[in-house]
Chain A
Amino acid sequence: MVNQSVELFEQELSHGLVRARGITKSFGEGDTKIPVLKGVDLDVAKGEVLFLVGPSGSGKTTLLSVIAGILESDEGEVRILGESIHDLSAAEKTCFRRDHLGFIFQQYNLLPTLTAVENAAVPLFIRGMKKMEAIGRAEEVLKTMGMGERLKAVPSKLSGGEQQRVAIARALVGEPQLLLCDEPTASLDGETGHRVVEQLCEVGKHPDRAVIIITHDSRIFEFGDRIVHMEDGQVGQIQQGQEDPI
Chain B
Amino acid sequence: MNFVALKMLFGDRAKYMMLLAGLTFSTMLIVQQGSIFWGLMTWSQSGITNINAPVWVTDPNINQVEEIKPLADTAVNVVRSVPGVEWAVPLYKGVQRARLRDGNYEQIALVGIDSSTLIGRPHKMIEGRIEDLRAPDTVAIDQLAVKRLGGPDRMHLGTTFEINDHLVKVVAIVHAQKSFQNFPFIYTTYERALGVTPQERRKLSYVLASPVEGVNPEELARRIREHTGLGAYTEDQFGWKTVRWILENTGIGVNFGTTVVLGFVVGMAIAGQTFYLFTIENLRQFGALKAIGASTGMLARMILLQSFTVGLIGYGLGIGLATLFGLTAGSGGRLPFVETWPLLVGVGGALLMICSLSSAISIRKLAKLEPAVVFRG
Contacts and interface: CB of A to CB of B under 8 A. Distances in A.
A60 to B, nearest CB: 10
Given A65-B372, A118-B4, A107 B377 contact: yes
Contacts of A223: none
Interface of A: 61, 64-65, 68, 70-71, 91, 94-95, 97-99, 101, 103, 105-107, 109-114, 118, 122-123, 125-127, 131, 154, 170, 182-183, 186
Interface stretch (B123-131, B290-298, B349-357): B290-298
Given A71-B372, A103-B292, A122-B292, A111 B287 contact: no
B294 A126 contact: yes
A122 B299 CA distance: 13
Given A111-B285, A113-B8, A122-B4, A94 B293 contact: yes
Interface residues of B, number: 28
Nearest to B9: A113
Interface in B272-300: 282, 284-285, 287-295, 298
Interface in B172-194: none
A97 B375 contact: no
Given A107-B377, A109-B374, A112-B11, A68 B289 contact: no
Contact of B3 (A97, A106, A131): A131
Interface string B356-377: 0000000000000011101111
Contact of A105 (B3, B10, B11, B375): B375
Contacts, number: 86
Contacts of B222: none
16 contacts: A98-B294, A106-B375, A109-B288, A110-B285, A112-B11, A113-B7, A114-B7, A118-B4, A123-B293, A125-B1, A125-B3, A126-B293, A126-B294, A126-B298, A127-B293, A131-B3
Given A97-B291, A126-B289, A131-B3, A107 B371 contact: no
Given A68-B291, A126-B292, A182 B4 contact: no
Contacts of A64: 375
Contacts of A114: 4, 7-8, 11
A103 B291 contact: yes
Contacts of A107: 284, 374, 377
